[in-house]
């Protein structure tokens, strides 16, 4: 890595007139890029795409003429913006006739799929496997260092160092290096976007890595079903924006949206099959995206409890509470645990990597009452029996989530999250110390400031409902968030409301606030079509990508950023 004195942080961008016709198609942009490159003399355009060791002569000459093209000017133009760019004198790099993607590590390496994807994104360039000479116009893709040794292919990044990469455009060649295949993947996204935005990359060196290690989106596909194709399109979009998490909230009062073998009766008519889920998980993994399942409990279980009415929570007067399970009953835990075990086996993770699970824990109606002990005496009695005379319903709810966490940990999950209103202070029972608090609101009864969770030593994921909640139909005073507002005034440190959390800055770094997810909640499911949702979240996701990759004040104006996001 060059010293800080030698790396100029690129925080300014050339300004130009907006395209009055909107972004050109990728095919047209690539054709335009290639059209300015003359036919290379002495080069047939063929390439050796056979794996090392294959027989037969190659039609590709050992040398190729140096291509010529108009210089690529200005810094790289990408979303999110690269963090550091050191310019140099030269014409930069553009995809040209006869260009190839060269992978010295070979067709069986962990970067083979990233190289193939880049070649496809650049219009179908040939891929050359093995230690071959890198010719003018080529892109070389290679791992550096030993950080990737022993890692499974497409393993999720363990830190932002795993996601770093370097791109060097020099003498008409482009070199992409990274310590892991995750870093290589993000480098390929930079190349793809830079070509779309400006036809190529300027001469010089990019050194890039994200600020926050966890960046992503939550989809409520319980209240509103989404097709596998729609979710697949969002996974590709997340990958291109260098976002790396997708949370699926697939169980709620309105629906249970994934096939079940152990409890088929609870599954909604419109649902994803397990094979569809496996395909989505594998696609996400190929884009270095972790899929985080959420089965919310002890509230938001209405679709399940419709078939288990004896487990539904009831008041002292005998009236039922929609969506709430009676956590004083042993069979309640058995039912939910059986579902947790079934879906933990479906949402797989490479061995030795972060394996996420979301327990839910929010809006349990018994704890939203002004006098829960009187209204739900069976819960109060169970708490005292289990935790002594001082035991409370909050203790019983905390113990419930602790027990559910034991179940998913036994099933191999090691990164456990729950909503912030599922954590309680000063009780007989404390939430597992490693559980991540997903902070979404401070409006609930007894709300604690996010600073309290940080002072406890917890990691806190940012779901700030002021900026990051896209709630269909805009109920309860929610308004659709805009990319402009996120881009201009939100950072990962803004956990609640509009001001940074009030703790020492050392408690707000990536180790304590690891990132953020943008949440799509389908409270009024028919308010927007899936197509409208895709359009509505596009710029907010781009802004989130920018501010989690680099939380500093962006150099680009919102108008310029929006135009760029629309193009790439």
Among 363, 405, 428, 466, the one annotated catalytic? 363
**Strand intervals (E) in 255-402:** 290-297, 312-314, 320-325, 356-360
Extract the tokens encoding 276. 């569809």
- How far apart CA 76 and CA 123 sit, in angstroms, is 20
Say if residue 566 is preceded by a cis peptide, omega within 30 of 0. no
CA 449 to mean position of chain CA atoms: 26
DSSP annotation of 365: G
Nearest to 168 by CA among 198, 142, 196: 142
Query: Please, what sign has the CA dihedral across residues 370, 376, 379, 385?
Result: positive
Q: What is the dihedral of CA 133, 139, 142, 144, to 10 degrees?
A: 100
Q: Beta partners for 258? A: 272
- How far apart CA 357 and CA 347 sit, in angstroms, is 9
Distances (CA, A) of 11 to 6, 75, 76, 166, 183: 15, 9, 11, 18, 22
Strand order in the sheet with 204-208: 84-87, 204-208, 165-170, 173-178, 139-143, 101-103, 127-129
Nearest to 384 by CA among 372, 393, 375, 374: 393
* Contacts for 390 with CB less than 8 Å, ≥ 6 apart: 428
Question: In the annotation, is 363 catalytic?
Answer: yes
Task: Tell me which residues are annotated as active site.
Answer: 363
């Amino acid at each position: 890595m060059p010293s800080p004195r030698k790396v100029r942080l690129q925080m300014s961008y050339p300004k130009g007139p907006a395209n009055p016709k909107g972004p050109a198609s990728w095919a047209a942009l690539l054709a335009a890029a290639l059209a300015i490159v003359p036919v290379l003399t002495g080069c047939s355009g063929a390439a050796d795409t056979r794996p090392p060791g294959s027989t037969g002569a190659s039609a590709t000459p050992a040398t190729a003429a140096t291509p010529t093209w108009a210089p690529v000017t200005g810094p790289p133009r990408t979303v999110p913006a690269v963090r550091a760019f050191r310019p140099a004198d030269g014409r930069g790099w553009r995809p040209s006739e006869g260009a190839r993607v060269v992978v010295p590590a070979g067709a069986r390496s962990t970067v083979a799929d990233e190289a193939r994807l880049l070649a496809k994104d650049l219009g179908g360039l040939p891929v050359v496997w093995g230690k071959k000479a890198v010719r003018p116009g080529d892109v070389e893709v290679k791992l550096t260092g030993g950080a990737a040794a022993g890692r499974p292919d497409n393993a999720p990044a363990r830190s932002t160092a795993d996601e770093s990469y370097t791109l060097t455009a020099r003498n008409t060649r482009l070199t992409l290096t990274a310590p892991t295949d995750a870093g290589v993947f993000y480098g390929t996204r930079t190349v793809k976007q830079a070509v779309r935005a400006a036809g190529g990359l300027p001469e010089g060196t990019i050194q890039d890595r994200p600020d926050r290690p966890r960046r992503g989106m939550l989809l409520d596909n319980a209240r509103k079903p989404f097709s596998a194709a729609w979710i697949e399109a969002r996974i590709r979009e997340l990958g291109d924006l260098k976002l790396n998490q997708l949370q699926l909230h697939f169980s709620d009062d309105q629906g249970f949206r994934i096939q079940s073998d152990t409890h088929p009766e609870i599954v909604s008519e419109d649902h994803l099959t397990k094979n569809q889920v496996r395909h989505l998980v594998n696609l996400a993994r190929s884009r270095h995206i972790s899929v985080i399942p959420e089965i919310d409990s002890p509230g938001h279980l209405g679709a399940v409890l419709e078939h288990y009415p004896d487990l539904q929570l009831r008041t002292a007067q005998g009236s039922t509470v929609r969506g709430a399970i009676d956590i004083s009953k042993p069979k309640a835990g058995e039912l939910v645990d059986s579902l947790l075990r079934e879906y933990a086996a479906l949402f797989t993770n490479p061995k030795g990597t972060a394996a996420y699970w979301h327990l839910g824990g929010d809006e349990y109606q018994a704890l939203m009452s002004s006098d829960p002990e009187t209204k739900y005496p069976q819960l109060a009695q169970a708490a005292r029996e289990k935790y002594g005379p001082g035991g409370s319903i909050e203790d019983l709810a905390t113990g419930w989530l602790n027990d559910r966490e034991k179940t998913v940990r036994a099933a191999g999950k090691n990164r456990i999250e729950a909503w912030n209103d599922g954590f309680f202070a000063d009780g007989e029972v404390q939430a597992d110390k490693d559980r991540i608090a997903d902070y979404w609101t401070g409006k609930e009864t007894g709300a604690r400031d996010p600073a309290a969770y940080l002072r406890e030593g917890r990691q806190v994921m940012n779901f700030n409902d002021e900026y990051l909640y896209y709630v269909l139909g805009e109920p309860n005073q929610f308004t659709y968030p805009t990319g402009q507002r996120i881009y201009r005034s939100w950072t990962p440190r803004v956990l609640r409301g509009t001001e940074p959390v009030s703790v020492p800055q050392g408690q707000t770094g990536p180790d304590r606030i690891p990132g953020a997810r943008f949440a799509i909640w389908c409270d009024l499911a028919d308010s927007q079509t899936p197509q409208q949702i895709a359009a509505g979240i596009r710029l907010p996701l781009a802004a989130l990508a920018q501010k989690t990759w680099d939380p500093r004040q962006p150099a680009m104006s919102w108008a310029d950023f929006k135009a760029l996001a629309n193009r790439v």
